[in-house]
Amino acid sequence: MKYSVFSLLSEAIRGGTGWTPAWREPEPKSQYDIVIVGGGGHGLATAYYLAKEHGLKNIAVVEKGHIGSGNVGRNTTIIRSNYLLPANTPFYEWSLKLWEGLEQDFNFNAMVSQRGVLNLYHSDSQRDAYVRRGNAMRLNGVDAELIDADGVREIAPMLDFHNARFPIEGGLLQRRGGTVRHDAVAWGYARGADQRGVDILQHTEVKGFMIENGRVFGVETSRGPIKAKKVGLACAGNSSRVAAMAGLQLPIESHVLQAFVSEGVKPLIDGVITFGAGHFYVSQSDKGGLVYGGDIDGYNSYAQRGNLYTIEDVHEAAMALCPSFGRLRMVRHWGGIMDMSMDGSPIIDKTPLEGLYLNCGWCYGGFKATPASGWCFAHTIARDQPHTLNAGFRLDRFATGHLIDEKGAGAQANLH
């Protein structure tokens, strides 16, 4: 059913008895044209765009848990396109453009909120790096502004401008950046895909691949074998484990990134602020909680939780940036498992196995990429070749040297 003011009003009168399931819970068919492995944001978006943009009907998404149970449900909800390298910038800008029209497109309010993303700098060399980045954005038609310390003070007067160990000298601002209600993205795509005939198979775990002569023709699942002409993997966090079932070893390590939320308070900060002198970024949700995080813990992990060293490091940076946070309380912290790739950038590509497509390596930038990732992966699967937007996200770029290394950290996954 279509969501609107009218449906809300009429259901209010009827006591809400007429609301129908947002998606079906179908039985698996024995065969689909395309099976997407992973019912998170990227997998559901891929199915949605396969149906919507490429007119494909016979699609299933298989998910070992419930939809949105991975990183789309445990991130810090930030969207932005403030990337430096030409292989990234157009892709993330396309993603931001899709975000901007997403809710009307899939008739679900995901609270896409462009309240701005401000990256602070604290030294001349940081400023120079942000200028380079901001200019790369502007060359691509992306909005970017350089502001000085007074400009920062106007946006965020509560920051430490008086006694900071690393004084705030200014910032790079992308006003079109912001936040999105993360769970709702999974739900909106799921509902949209379902309405277009996609079977969303929850609690269906992939146990293996059907492979013959270098060609994938289906998946073995906890609910039986499912044949497919094409199989797409969109299971970041677990990419290595799933790809290993198809005999592939990926340039990826799984790492835990922690995130935090505080008790709800009245509006304190408007947009997203990142601290340039420590590992910290923060925004405030519509519900009032500060949503914040920092660096990955640094060790391989599949455990969706981290340790106190990183927790304290994040809170130290929080207090260094904004001393009036001191008496607010952190109410919950959690961890998500990141596909950390060897250059910090993702992979959306075909694989050496015919019929098997790969979407992985999002590091901790996957959420903002969700629409474009689904859009490009759908294109790559449907047309059997990458779109120009994801042409750089190749699996073989590590061998050829066509790296997409925004940080310059090199082939060490936990430094990206």
Instruction: Show contacts with another protein in window 291-330 (CB under 8 A).
Output: 298-305, 307-309, 311-312, 315-320, 323-330
Distance CA 359, CA 339 (A): 10
Query: What one-character DSSP code corresponds to residue 416?
Result: -
Span 345-384, contacts to another protein by CB under 8 A: none
99-128 residues near another protein, rule: CB under 8 A = 100-101, 103-104, 107-115, 122-123, 125, 127-128
Side-chain-side CA neighbours of 327 within 13 Å: the count stands at 1
- Residues ≥6 apart with Cβ < 8 Å to 14: none
The number of beta carbons lying within 10 Å of the beta carbon of residue 101 is 11
**Residue 30 touches another protein, criterion: CB under 8 A:** no
For another protein, the closer of residues 33 and 100 by Cβ is: 100
Stretch that binds another protein, among 27-35, 37-45, 183-191, 216-224 (CB under 8 A): 183-191
The residue count of the chain comes to 416
Q: CB of 209 within 8 A of CB of 355?
A: no
What backbone phi and psi angles, to 5 degrees, belong to 240? Answer: -65, -40
Report helix, strand or coil for 390: helix
Binding characters for another protein, 245-284, by CB under 8 A (x = yes): ----xxxxxx-------xxxxxxx--------xx-----x
Q: 140: buried, middle or exposed (CB in 10 Å: 19+, 13-18, 0-12)?
A: middle
Residue 161, both tokens: 């401008």
Closest approach, Cβ 217 to another protein, in A, equals: 26
Interface with another protein includes 57 (CB under 8 A)? no
- The reply on whether position 31 binds another protein by CB under 8 A is no
Q: How far is the CB of 11 from another protein (least distance, A)?
A: 8
Q: Is 184 in the site for another protein (CB under 8 A)?
A: yes
Name the DSSP class of 234. Answer: -
How many residues of this chain bind another protein (CB under 8 A)? Answer: 140
Give strand pairing partners of 347. 360
**Quick check: 161 binds another protein (CB under 8 A)?**
no
CB atoms within 10 A of CB 188: 26
- Residue 214 Cβ vs another protein, minimum distance, rounded to whole Å: 19
Tell me the closest approach of the beta carbon of residue 187 to another protein, in angstroms. Answer: 7
- Residue 205 touching another protein (CB under 8 A): no
Question: Closest CB to another protein among 222 and 303?
Answer: 303
217 phi and psi, to 5 degrees? -130, 20
Q: Is there binding between residue 157 and another protein (CB under 8 A)?
A: no
Residues with Cβ within 8 Å of 312's Cβ and at least 6 positions away in sequence, in order, are: none
Residue 401, by phi and psi: left (phi above 0), alpha (psi -120 to 50) or beta? left
Rule CB under 8 A: is residue 92 a binding residue for another protein?
no
Q: Would you count residue 413 as binding another protein (CB under 8 A)?
A: yes
Beta carbons within 10 angstroms of residue 121's beta carbon: 25
Q: Considering only 39-47, 228-236, 352-360, 402-410, which stretch makes contact with another protein by CB under 8 A? A: 402-410
Least Å distance, CB 252 to another protein, is: 6
Q: Among 4, 197, 208, 215, which residue sits at the site for another protein (rule: CB under 8 A)? A: 4
